[in-house]
């Protein structure tokens, strides 16, 4: 059942995304995880507590997220199993965990602003999708940031949720989304989160091992090139996973991505990924979006093929 549900969920999310009117009324399911993580962080991540205690509470937070996500997924699957429209229940429960549509519509405004020469608007737009400082980015820096975010989020927001939906059904999908949300909120190296967020960061790394590599290979396949850059540069990223889709995107587009980046006013001297042009433009963002759409199409074929084989 997971395979046709996955294909239908991909199609539904691509068509409607998560509409703004629906978000305004009920929020998004991931918001529930975010509130739980914030509550755990307030209660268990006391600055004066010993580091080992904070790390143990971080592990407890991850286990709690797993428990809630898996229990909710199993409960929905149980309801679906006794419903005449069980497949539809599963599709509706699965599609909010995918982000093809929302990722596209968040990156596109960056290209539009750069194309009309509005660097201030482009910085604002890219600031919604990246964690780095954007106030001083020049136009190529904004373009590179948008393309890098598109590549990394292709894994986190599309490939990985789909992978875990196919492997473990709704419990797998929502367990992944819970951990990925925790990683984005507390899985940082700053002193406040380093101990408490350690378990979330390491678990997210583990859950993305296969999806990240699959993401990179699919991007190269859809782009028709980039394999050499993928194998050579994927390991240059600080993350064990993010470098795979980013290197694939750089190679497929003939660009250089990453490089020195500022976070909270501090410049991190990160290595370049790819050996093409560093002067990315609005046109390159549009090329990246076109590649993204083609690669999402490959995912549809993959989900349909798995369903047919089973």
Concatenated DSSP letters of 118-163: -HHHHHHHHHTT--S--TT--HHHHHHHHHHHHHHHHIIIIIHHHH
Q: Which DSSP category does 271 fall into?
A: P
Q: Within 13 Å and on the Cβ side, how many CA atoms surround 94?
A: 35
Task: Say how far residue 50 (Cα) sits from the centre of its chain.
Answer: 32
What Rg do the C-alpha atoms of the chain give, in angstroms? Answer: 19
Instruction: Collapse the DSSP code of 209 into the 3-class scheme (helix H, G, I; strand E, B; otherwise coil) and give the result.
Output: helix
Q: Which of 58, 246, 94 is nearest to 176 (CA)?
A: 94
Report yes or no: 110 and 123 within 8 Å, Cβ to Cβ.
no
Q: How far apart are CA 196 and CA 71, in angstroms?
A: 24
- Phi and psi torsions of 267, nearest 5°: -85, 125
Could you report the per-residue pLDDT of 144-156, keeping only the tens digit for each?
A: 999 999 999 999 9
Range 258-270 average pLDDT: 69
Could you report the per-residue pLDDT of 108-160, keeping only the tens digit for each?
A: 999 999 999 999 999 999 999 987 788 889 999 999 999 999 999 999 999 99
Report yes or no: 7 and 96 within 8 Å, Cβ to Cβ.
no
- Phi and psi torsions of 53, nearest 5°: -65, -45
Report H helices in 224-281: 227-233, 243-253
Domain containing 60 equals 2-309
The residues facing 301 across adjacent strands are none
Q: What is the pLDDT of residue 136?
A: 85
Q: Which DSSP category does 46 fall into?
A: -
Report yes or no: 132 and 149 within 8 Å, Cβ to Cβ.
no
Q: How far apart are CA 128 and CA 124, in angstroms?
A: 7
Domain tally, the chain: 1
Residue with tokens 């286990």: 63
What is the pTM for the complete model shown? 0.94
pLDDT for residue 1 is more than 60: no
Q: How far apart are CA 134 and CA 278, in angstroms?
A: 17
Q: What is the pLDDT of residue 170?
A: 96
pLDDT for residue 101 is more than 90: yes
Pairing mode of beta strands 272-273, 257-258: antiparallel
């Amino acid at each position: 059942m997971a395979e046709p549900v996955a294909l239908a969920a991909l199609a539904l999310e691509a068509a409607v995304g998560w509409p703004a009117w629906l978000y305004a009324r009920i929020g998004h399911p991931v918001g529930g995880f975010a509130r739980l993580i914030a509550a755990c962080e307030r209660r268990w991540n006391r600055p004066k507590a010993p580091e080992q205690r904070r790390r143990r509470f971080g592990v407890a937070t991850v286990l709690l997220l797993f428990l809630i996500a898996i229990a909710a997924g199993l409960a929905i699957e149980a309801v679906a199993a006794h419903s005449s429209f069980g497949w539809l229940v599963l599709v509706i429960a699965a599609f909010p965990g995918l982000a093809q549509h929302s990722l596209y519509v968040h990156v596109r405004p960056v290209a539009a602003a750069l194309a009309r020469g509005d660097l201030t608007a482009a910085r604002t737009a890219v600031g919604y999708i990246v964690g780095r400082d954007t106030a001083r980015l020049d136009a190529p820096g904004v373009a590179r940031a948008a393309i890098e975010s598109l590549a990394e989020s292709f894994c986190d927001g599309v490939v990985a949720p789909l992978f875990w939906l196919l492997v473990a059904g709704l419990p797998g999908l929502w367990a992944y989304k819970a951990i990925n949300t925790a990683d984005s909120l507390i899985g940082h190296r700053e002193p406040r989160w380093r101990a408490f967020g350690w378990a979330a960061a390491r678990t997210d790394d583990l859950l993305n091992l296969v999806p990240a590599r699959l993401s990179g290979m699919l991007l190269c396949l859809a782009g028709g090139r980039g394999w050499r850059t993928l194998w050579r540069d994927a390991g240059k990223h600080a993350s064990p996973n993010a470098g795979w889709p980013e290197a694939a995107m750089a190679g497929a587009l003939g660009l250089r991505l990453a490089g020195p980046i500022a976070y909270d006013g501090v410049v991190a001297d990160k290595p370049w990924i790819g050996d093409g042009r560093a002067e990315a433009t609005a046109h390159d963002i549009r090329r990246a979006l076109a590649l993204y759409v083609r690669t999402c199409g490959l995912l549809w074929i993959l989900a349909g093929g798995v369903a047919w084989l089973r």
